[in-house]
Structure 1
């Protein structure tokens, strides 16, 4: 394996260039990233998981399901050791590792680099658009590992990889609630394989024994999912999150907008799979039909599910292409007189020989040295116009003045305010929608939007400090009728503080 890496092939060079580019262009501005980082810091500092919420004043002490604690600890340790560049490297490595695994699967199933590259290149925009310093990255990699083990079982008869899946599950269940989709993948695959075996006119006893081993591995995976601080409680958590009505207003739970380029690529990949299967000489079996359809359907329901869908679609699309006339067309093109004449005369491989790898390494060094510098220069120009995190100035002001206590804020800003101001200030809300619940978030949205009953609901919060975007409806209402005054303002945010007389009057009431 090490020798193959040292001999930097064209494929590895492409991956290296993509890695450097993604690390260079990636922004650490995802709102949830900041509270994940702060949570990891808290766990490392205290050597234990918090018993209840420690970041908000509206849910202080309430039970908090830390289903992502292991990833948060890893995230903080990487940040503490290598800073922002370390976090970016971690995220890109996880994303490209998942993509690399499905590319390897696609190559094995199609027996062709060319047919494997087609779905991978179409799927790449979807995965790249999902790169963020969040626990979902761990789910992408673990999901790809599960898929690789199952496809190796189906198409290569390998059983040993199945019994590594419980160990992966122990990491997964403590790193992200997406572990449930791994169990769903395994169960769906096992059911389809059993049904396929039962439908055979002549049932192979050897195949039955293999299916029994698959079932044993699935049972072990389910048991391994109990290796978490909440045990059985963690089984209910994914269903509680999926059942929240507030998901209807959270962007990542919305259906994809097919005007968006990654969504167009996702649609193209689904259409390619459909067309390839229609014209395939051998039609898909139940497993080859059910798995892509199930995950493609979920990807159409929510943007959050699209990366998992493309991880499934890539290998099955490559397999369908290999069974379709497209493979014959590629073989005919490669065997045509013109291509053979060119390949016979180009002589590049023979002239360079091992020197080709040296040339690839030289190109890799140029990319590593020049590309980040170029991207950084472009980013500095863009950042001068619009900062990556617009609330930085307001947070700096609050920290410099030593302000703290109960802080009313916009939903998307809670994570950064936790990162910058906790424990001296506690936020009203942040991206942990499951912690706050549907009813609280509905009340909060009415207050933030300035509904008719905003004032009594706001007073129940008891906040004496607010940091809000300039276009927030509640900002003008607080200035006009709630005894707040503006103590800071920039191009994007304002900090409001309740006047001392108004604060005393409220306390007296």
Structure 2
């Protein structure tokens, strides 16, 4: 009885159907006000550099033109469209452009998620999911290509789940989303993979007499989606490129955003998993078998790779919404606000957001977070006019953005598993001989490493490497014949 009364009250509220709008506005304002938070990843700079290269050359890259170790090797950018978008807005508005673009994409993502959830769940339950999703996704919400693909992902998966809830096949109007996703980010492959389990869920739940025809319609949709994903400058090579990332093996756990979840301290992922488990046990919530499989798959991804937390945050609620609503009570039917009234409201909100954006960006200066970037060191390095510099992995993107060819950078799929693991073992001195082998094999003229790294400290003890610059972030060692070690004891790389 209490549940019915609550829903009746919600239904009577004239603005209930506008919850997605208010969520979108609130999240946009939040990320615009905290805009510099979106620029803390130095990779944003090299993404813009690549985007500008594409604009200038009116072509997409087919080979590496940035590093000196892999120059000329095959490399494609599956996120070329997002890079062009960031480069365009940066050229027009400076750093305000990428901030506003990323904030708009994040706002659209959560507004769409709210819309899908509120079809089944009450406003209060929807907001709980949105708050949990935001908490999980925040660490990965940066001005990078994947953020521009998030609203497409939610719309794509939400559309398929809605079709499965109706025991129907997805609308073909979803296919343009796949084409857009395939040009924005390589994560479109995940969208293709999800077609099969969602189709199985739809067919499993359908009446026996209609299962065969429904399965055929889903199969046709899956084939059409696959073909649509080829609508990129690279054709099917964009799909094949994902195999390089998945085939990085031992390299993936060494990259921060690909590391498995760490429960050494209490974090948002652990809190959400514990609360979700507790709610399921307390309310006796049951899910259809395929939905359980989907949910467990998303949880596994989030545990195995830190960067998958936002996928769990955004997609798990869509998987849960309909079956959850049938057990804890769902959304009441709300009276629709008159179309003219909605139109006036939307126009007013859009005008207010535009005015607020212009006002805020005119008085607030957005700039990348360079506290951890080798700004002064790279300025000193460029004066040396060198072409073969052995750099720390985290410095690669900053070097590209500043016109210095890196030894390695964040395009791990270009360098491959062995190269990346060798570099990691060398810079971290897990295998000290690797450091000297790479320095010799690539005829390195100087090193640019973090000041506190083991490799930097070792070079202080080695003859032939002169420390010419050092600050709290980075140190430069110049390969110079006759240079004498600056710290005792001396280390001979050739000693056994």
TM bucket normalised to smaller? 0.7 to 0.9
Q: Which residue of 2 aligns with 1:410?
A: 392
Q: Secondary structure at the match of 2:448?
A: strand
Which structure features the higher share of helix residues? 1
Q: CA deviation at 1:470?
A: 1.1
1:302 pairs, out of 300, 305, 309, with 305
Distance 1:152 1:10, change over 3 A: closer
Q: Which residue of 2 aligns with 1:255?
A: 260
**CA-to-aligned-CA distance 1:451-495 (integer Å, 9 cap, x gap):** 341323211122212222211222233343252322222222222
Aligned length: 453
Q: Which residue of 2 aligns with 1:50?
A: 61
> Does structure 2 conserve the Cα–Cα contact (< 8 Å) formed by 1:270 and 1:296?
no
2:217 pairs, out of 206, 213, 234, with 213
> Does structure 2 conserve the Cα–Cα contact (< 8 Å) formed by 1:273 and 1:313?
no
Q: Secondary structure at the match of 2:390?
A: strand
Q: Secondary structure at the match of 1:486?
A: strand
Q: Distance in 2 between matches of 1:231 and 1:275?
A: 47
**How does 1:263-278 map onto structure 2 within 5 Å?**
263-268=269-274, 270-271=276-277, 274-275=280-281
Mapped pair 1:115 → 2:125: yes
Q: Distance in 2 between matches of 1:456 and 1:465?
A: 14
Q: Which residue of 2 aligns with 1:507?
A: none
> Does structure 1 conserve the Cα–Cα contact (< 8 Å) formed by 2:67 and 2:407?
yes
Q: Which residue of 1 aligns with 2:287?
A: 284
Q: Distance in 2 between matches of 1:21 and 1:137?
A: 16
2:41 pairs, out of 19, 26, 30, with 30
Q: Secondary structure at the match of 1:405?
A: coil
Distance 1:274 1:446, change over 3 A: same
Q: CA deviation at 1:10?
A: 7.3
Distance 1:260 1:416, change over 3 A: farther
**CA-to-aligned-CA distance 1:318-372 (integer Å, 9 cap, x gap):** 43443335x49x99xxxxxxxxxxxxxxxxxxxxx99xx89x97xx78x959996
2:75 pairs, out of 28, 39, 64, with 64
Moved more, 390-399 or 461-470: 390-399
**How does 1:158-177 map onto structure 2 within 5 Å?**
162-177=171-186
Q: CA deviation at 1:163?
A: 0.8
Mapped pair 1:151 → 2:161: yes
**How does 1:372-391 map onto structure 2 within 5 Å?**
388-391=371-374
Q: Distance in 1 between matches of 2:97 and 2:357?
A: 17
Q: Which residue of 2 aligns with 1:468?
A: 449
Distance 1:43 1:495, change over 3 A: same
> Does structure 1 conserve the Cα–Cα contact (< 8 Å) formed by 2:165 and 2:322?
no
Q: CA RMSD in A?
A: 3.7
**CA-to-aligned-CA distance 1:183-203 (integer Å, 9 cap, x gap):** 111121112322344xx5xx2
Q: TM-score, normalised by structure 1?
A: 0.78
